[in-house]
Amino acid sequence: MTTTPVQITIRRPDDWHVHLRDGAMMRAVLPCTARQFARAIVMPNLVPPVTTAAAAVGYRARIVAALPAGADFTPLMTAYLTDETEPQEIARGHADGVFTAVKLYPAHATTNSAYGVTAIDKVMRVLERMAALGVPLLVHGEATDPEVDIFDREAVFIDHTLIPLRRHLPELRIVLEHITTQEAADYVEHGGDNIAATITAHHLTINRNAIFQGGIRPHLYCLPIAKREKHRLALRRAAASGDRHFFLGTDSAPHAAPTKEAACGCAGIFTAATALELYAGVFEEKGALDRFEAFASLNGPAFYRLLVNEERITLRREPWTAPSTIGDGKLAVHPFRAGETLRWRVA
């Protein structure tokens, strides 16, 4: 019989998908990410979106200026792909070390995606250039046809868009972001060297029942929406396998509480305050703490062709209470698992 160790030390992890926002909201949430992660892939869905290298340079400087004193954190920037993006803008931004990757939002799929891509054909010249250069494409993988059931949008996107795209452009390196289904996990696991997926802490811990438990729970609403239990179990198997195709991406997406607790609440779950602790809990439950470092700290850099972090981080099995809010006043955000007792704690 094996017993769970009381602490675990791993290379410092990275968050391969996060929303840091801008201005006062960024200043409120950034310390949560910087306390645990060495680097993060920063989503470009600001208003207006980060579509140029110049905009990304400015945004990166604002993030760095907002870091708490002594924080050791590097933001990795992404370009927001639109129908109008020029291949040259991406090529130059990548060569200059500004763009680590490019994000594809299908138009109207999610928060601030109105400027997203209306049809894959419109961005094919950009994707061909990225394939030639090895620039990763990060995909919000949901079909946007309103006829498609919200719980089927990821699986339909894989069949109707992702598979044809990869057949046309097999060299393109793709991260299917925040996967939520068994179909996605199976597809990525067997998809070869040029595909990987991020998995969030919340999709590993809740299924769709949680969104409606005793009433509607706006803080558990995100896109892609949580699916039924069999999908959560498939994601947990994928993450805990240590397989190189899967790595940590929180998709932490803060929205001020009143914009979620509303007649039409925003999509997004804010996990940065509790993410690493929750992931560790999942790996403990799976008896896979020995594979936690692969998922959190090794597989991501390998796919992105970056060095792994040299620093270490220790998590202890020591109960603590997750914060009930982050930020003040109108911008206060409700963290995932707010006020609940968590088993693991970053030392």
Active-site residue list: 251
Give the relative orientation of helices 87-95 and 53-66 as an angle to the nearest 10 degrees.
40
Are the beta carbons of 220 and 274 closer than 8 angstroms?
Answer: no
Pick one of 36, 45, 85, 271: the residue that binds ligand DOR (CB under 6 A). Answer: 45
Look up residue 314 and give its two tokens: 């220790």
Q: Which stretch binds Zn ion (CB under 5 A): 97-105, 163-171, 224-232, 244-252?
A: 244-252
Q: Does 198 bind ligand DOR (CB under 6 A)?
A: no
Tell me if residue 73 falls in helix, strand or coil. coil
User: d(Cα 310, Cα 297) in Å, to the nearest integer?
Assistant: 10
Q: Which stretch binds Zn ion (CB under 5 A): 247-255, 258-266, 292-300, 321-329?
A: 247-255
Q: Does 277 bind Zn ion (CB under 5 A)?
A: no
- The continuous run of DSSP H or E covering 164 comes out as helix 163-168
The pattern of x and - marking residues 245 through 284 that bind ligand DOR according to CB under 6 A reads --------x-------------xx----------------
Q: Does 335 bind ligand DOR (CB under 6 A)?
A: no
Q: Which stretch binds ligand DOR (CB under 6 A): 74-82, 108-116, 145-153, 292-300?
A: 108-116
Pick one of 12, 17, 19, 203: the residue that binds ligand DOR (CB under 6 A). Answer: 19
The two beta strands, 312-321 and 7-11, are antiparallel
Q: Which of 174, 123, 179 is nearest to 153 (CA)?
A: 179
Number of Cβ within 10 Å of residue 33's Cβ equals 26
Are the beta carbons of 320 and 335 closer than 8 angstroms?
Answer: no
112 vs 241, beta carbon nearer Zn ion: 112
CB of 251 to ligand DOR, least distance (A): 6
Long-range contacts (CB closer than 8 Å, 24 or more residues apart) made by 91-96 = 91/129, 91/133, 92/53, 93/52, 93/53, 93/56, 94/133, 94/135, 96/53
CB of 251 to Zn ion, least distance (A): 4
CB of 190 to ligand DOR, least distance (A): 25
Are the beta carbons of 140 and 113 closer than 8 angstroms?
Answer: yes
Number of Cβ within 10 Å of residue 59's Cβ equals 21
Pick one of 38, 197, 223, 273: the residue that binds ligand DOR (CB under 6 A). Answer: 223
Pick one of 12, 27, 140, 219: the residue that binds ligand DOR (CB under 6 A). Answer: 140
Q: Does 251 bind Zn ion (CB under 5 A)?
A: yes
The residue assigned the tokens 């088993």 is 343
User: d(Cα 336, Cα 198) in Å, to the nearest integer?
Assistant: 18
166 vs 219, beta carbon nearer ligand DOR: 219
CB of 59 to ligand DOR, least distance (A): 14
Give the total of residues touching ligand DOR (CB under 6 A).
Answer: 11
CB of 176 to ligand DOR, least distance (A): 13
Residues that bind Zn ion (CB under 5 A): 251
Residues that bind ligand DOR (CB under 6 A): 19, 45, 110-112, 140, 222-223, 253, 267-268
